[in-house]
Chain A
Amino acid sequence: MNANSHELNRFELRLSGLGGQGIITLGKLLGYGLAIHHGYYVTQTQSYGPEARGGSSRADLVISSNPISYPKTENVDLLVALSQEACNEYYGVLKPNGVLVIDTVMVTQTPTNRFLGAEFTNYAKDKMGNPLTLNTIVLGAITHLLPFAQPRLMRKALEENMPAKILELNKKAFNLGQREAKKRFGEAPEIWKKAAEYAEEEVIEALE
C-alpha cells in the first residue's frame, strides 16, 4: 500500500458509453494504475458478448483498501457516461452522494442537473486531433476527480501499457483531461464534499 493513499472502503465506479470509445481499455488502465501502482484492491468487470456488440460498452471497478468480497458494482460512487443511452440506463445505480460525469457532446439530456460535464469528444477531435485519444483524456479527468488517485502513478500506468508509438500522444491527452477537469470541475475534495452535502439535503427534504 502506498504511504499517502487514502483509506477506502468499496469505492464503486462505472465507465459507460459506446463501443469504439475505448471504455474497456480505460477500465483496464484505471484498474491497473490503482491496483499495481497505488496498491489498492481493485476488481474490474465489463460487459461481454452480444451486450458488448450491441453498441454499448461498460466497465466497472470496485476499489478498496481491503480485500474485495463481492466483485461487481451495486451502488456506484462515480458514473462516467459517454453516451446518452448509457447515461439513461445507468443513472439509476448512482448513489445519492455519487458523482455523474458526462460528455456534453454525446449526452444532451441529463437526468439531473447535478453533473459534471465536459466536451471530451471535441477535445479528442479538435485539441488532440485524434478521436482515439478520448479514453485517455477521460482517464486524466477521472484521475483528477478521484482524491485518492495520483497523476504521477497513473502516468506510470500509461507508460507501462501503451505501445511506444502512441505513448507521447496519450500522455498529452492525459494531461489535457486533467487540466480541463481542474478548470471545469474544480478541486476533487470540494466536489465530493458538495455531493455528500447535497445528498444529505435531499434526505432532509424528503423527511420534511
Chain B
Amino acid sequence: MAQKARRKNKELFALGNEAVVEGALLAGCTFFAGYPITPSSEIMEVMAQKLPRTENGAFIQMEDEIASMGAVIGASLAGRKAMTATSGPGFSLMQEHIGYACMVEAPCVIVNVMRGGPSTGLPTSPAQGDVQMARWGTHGDHPIIVLSASTVQECLEMTIVAFNFSEKYRVPVILLIDEITAHTREKITIPSERDYEIFSRVLPSMPPEWFKPFEETTRGVPPMAPIGSGYRIHVTGLTHDPLGYPTQRPDEVEEFTHRLFRKIDQHFADIVLTEEYETKDAEVAVVAYGSVARSAHLAVDQAREQGIKAGLLHLKTLFPFPRAALEKLTRRGAAILVPEMNMGQISREVKRVNAGRVRVRTINRVDGQIITPSQILKNIGQM
C-alpha cells in the first residue's frame, strides 16, 4: 500500500499559517520581515522561532508593513529568498513596495491572509475581498502572480510554488489565504526532497562588463546578480534601460513595460494552476478558490447524490486568470456558479472570459462567514 511510503514523511498537525512556514523553509526561504496583524501573525511568530535555527536564516520585525516589504526586497536583492505575511490593512501599506518589486524584478513572496474589509473591517473573520487588489493594488501597469490555497496541506504546497514562481520569473508572488484556512488545524505531510522541485534564481554566467542586468533573454527573464557578487549593478524604481539606468526614451520605456508583461505571458501554461473535479459531464460548474472551494467540493458531491450533474473548477492560480480552463467549460455550455466571500471579484473575470456565452450566477457572501456547502448546493439546484 502507498501508506508505507507515506509514513516515512513527517506528519504534523498544523495551522494553515504554520504550514506556510513549513513550505517556505522547504522552498529555501531564509529571510522574513513582517509586522504583526491578525489573522496572519502566526506565520511571523513561527518564523521568528525557526529562522534563527535555520542555516543563514534571518528574521526581523519591522516598524510597519511598508518597512517589512522594503526589507524583504533589500534581502532579495542581496540574494536571499525572502517573504513577508500580512492581512488586508497591512497589504494596503505594502502596495508601494510591491510595485517596486515588480519594477526591479525582485523575487519575493507575500502571503496575505484575507479578513473582512475595507479598512480595519473584521479582523478575525474570513473574506476574500483582496483578490482584485492583489492583482492591481499597486499603481501602474505591472505583471504579478496571485495564487490561493484552500487546505492546510495546500498552504504548504502553494508556498513552495509561490517561491518557485517568484524565483523563476523574478516577480513578486502573492499567496492569498483566507482566515478559515489560516486558522484551521489539519494533518499535513512534509514532503521529502524527492517529492517537490525547488527553483532558485538564475545567476549571470558572463563577466560583469558584459552583463546587462535587465536585458531580455530567451527565457524572457534576465539573470540576477546579488548585491556584493562583483557585478555592481544599479537598481532603481525608475523606468530603466537594459543596463538598469533610468531612461525616458519612449522606445526604451515601451520595450521595458512590454518585456515585464511578456515574461509572465509567455509562461501561462506553467503558471496557471487549476484542479477539476467531476467537470467532465458537468452541466453546472462551480468556480471557486480558497476555503470556499472546500465547501463547493462537498456541495458538488451532494448535488451528484441528488442526480444533478455538478462539477468544480478549483482555481489555484488566480492571476494570470485561468482563462483556458474556464473556456473549456463554457464552450461546452456548462452553467457557471461563482461563490465567493466578496461582492464579485473573480466573477468579474469569469464574466469577462465568458463574454455572455453561458449563464453565470454568483453567490456573494460578505457577512464575515464562510459560504457553506448547503448554500452552494441550494444555488446549484436553482440553476
A residues touching B (Cβ–Cβ < 8 Å)?
A: 1, 28, 31-32, 35-36, 41-46, 48-51, 68-72, 74
CA A72 to CA B42, docked complex, whole Å: 20
Q: Are B372 and A70 in contact (CB under 8 A)?
A: yes
Distance (whole angstroms) from the CB of A19 to the closest CB of chain B = 15
Q: Is B3 on the interface with A (CB-CB < 8 A)?
A: yes
A-B contacts, 14 listed (Cβ < 8 Å): A31-B13, A35-B11, A36-B11, A36-B12, A36-B187, A41-B187, A42-B13, A45-B180, A45-B183, A48-B179, A51-B124, A69-B373, A71-B180, A71-B181
Query: Which A residues are in CB contact (< 8 Å) with B12?
Result: 36
- Find out whether the CB atom of A45 lies under 8 angstroms from the CB atom of B123: no
B192 to chain A, nearest CB (A): 17
Question: Which residue of B123, B181, B295 contacts A69 across the interface (Cβ within 8 Å)?
Answer: B295
Whether a CB of chain A sits under 8 angstroms from the CB of B170 is: no
> Which residue of B13, B124, B183, B295 contacts A36 across the interface (Cβ within 8 Å)?
B13
Residues of A within 8 A of B97 (CB): none
User: Chain A nearest CB: distance from B249 CB in Å?
Assistant: 53
Q: Which residue of B lies closest to A47 (CB)?
A: B124
Whether B213 is near chain A, meaning CB under 8 Å from some CB there, is no
Identity of the chain B residue whose Cβ is nearest the Cβ of A27 in the assembled complex: B185
Q: Which one of B179, B186, B373 has the highest number of Cβ atoms from chain A below 10 Å of its Cβ?
A: B186
Interface residue ranges of B174-194 to A (CB < 8 Å)? 179-181, 183-187
- CB-based contact B301/A69 at 8 Å: yes
Give the residues in chain B near A50, CB-CB below 8 Å.
124
- Cα A2 to Cα B374 in complex, Å, equals 32
Task: Give chain A nearest CB distance to B312 CB in angstroms.
Answer: 10
> Is the CB–CB distance between A44 and B301 below 8 Å?
no
Q: Which residue of B lies closest to A32 (CB)?
A: B13
B152 nearest in chain A by CB position: A43
Q: Tell whether, in the assembled complex, residue A72 and residue B180 are in contact, meaning their CB atoms are under 8 Å apart.
A: yes
Q: Find out whether the CB atom of A45 lies under 8 angstroms from the CB atom of B184.
A: yes
CB distance from A157 to the nearest CB of B (A): 9
A68 to B295, CA, bound (A): 10
A196 to chain B, nearest CB (A): 22
B:262-285 near A, CB below 8 Å: none
Q: Which residues of A contact B185 (CB under 8 A)?
A: 28, 31, 42-45
B81 within 8 A of A: no
B335 to chain A, nearest CB (A): 21
Structural contact, A70 and B186, CB atoms closer than 8 A: no
B291 interfacial by beta-carbon distance below 8 Å: yes
A48 vs B126: C-alpha distance when bound (angstroms)? 11
9 residue pairs, one from A and one from B, having the closest CB atoms: A49-B124, A35-B187, A69-B298, A44-B185, A69-B297, A32-B13, A48-B124, A69-B294, A70-B298
Docked complex Cα distance between A48 and B297 (Å): 26
Please name 18 further chain A to chain B contacts, defined as beta carbons within 8 Å, in addition to the given A69-B294, A71-B291, sorted by A numbering. Answer: A35-B11, A36-B11, A36-B12, A43-B152, A43-B184, A43-B186, A44-B185, A45-B185, A46-B183, A48-B38, A48-B39, A48-B124, A49-B123, A49-B124, A68-B186, A69-B298, A70-B297, A72-B180
Q: Which of B216-261 contact A (CB under 8 A)?
A: none
Q: Interface of chain A, helix or strand or loop or mixed?
A: mixed
Report whether B186 and A71 are in contact in the complex, using a CB–CB cutoff of 8 Å: yes
A69 to B184 CA separation, bound complex (whole angstroms):
12
B146 contacts the other chain (Cβ, under 8 Å)? no
A51 / chain B contacts, CB cutoff of 8 Å: 124
What does the 1/0 interface line of B285-296 toward A look like (CB < 8 Å)?
Answer: 000000100110
Residue numbers in A under 8 Å from B38 (CB-CB) = 48-49
Are A70 and B187 in contact (CB-based, < 8 A)? Answer: no
Q: Is B370 an interface residue (CB 8 A)?
A: yes
Residues of B within 8 A of A49 (CB): 38-39, 123-124
The complex places the Cα of A49 from the Cα of B179 at a distance, in Å, of: 12
Bound-complex Cα distance A115 to B301 (A): 33
Given contacts A36-B11, A42-B13, A69-B298, contact A48 B374 (CB under 8 A): no
A59 to chain B, nearest CB (A): 9
The smallest beta-carbon distance between A202 and chain B, in angstroms, is: 22
What residue in chain B is nearest A161 (Cβ atoms)?
B13
Nearest B residue to A48 via CB reads: B124
Q: B291 to chain A: which residues have CB within 8 Å?
A: 71
Chain B residues near A35 (CB, 8 Å)?
11, 13, 186-187
Contact with A along B1-43 (1 / 0, CB 8 A): 0010000000111000000000000000000000000110000
In contact, A71 and B184 (Cβ under 8 angstroms): yes
The answer to whether A48 touches B294, judged by C-beta atoms less than 8 angstroms apart, is no
B residues 43-98 near A (Cβ < 8 Å) are none
| Residue in chain A with minimal CB distance to B11 | A36
**B372 engages A71 (CB within 8 Å):** no
User: In the complex, what distance in Å separates the CA atom of A138 from the CA atom of B251?
Assistant: 72
Distance of A172 Cα from B13 Cα, bound (Å): 24
CB-defined interface of B366-383 with A at 8 Å, one 1/0 digit per residue?
000010111000000000
B184 contact set on A, CB distance < 8 A: 43-45, 71
Task: List B residues 335-351 near A (Cβ within 8 Å).
Answer: none
Q: Which residues of A contact B298 (CB under 8 A)?
A: 69-70
A50–B152 Cα distance when bound, in Å, is 24
B186→A44 contact, CB < 8 A: yes
Nearest CB on B from A2, distance (A): 10
Least Cβ–Cβ distance between B14 and chain A, in angstroms: 10
Closest A residue to B370 using CB positions: A72
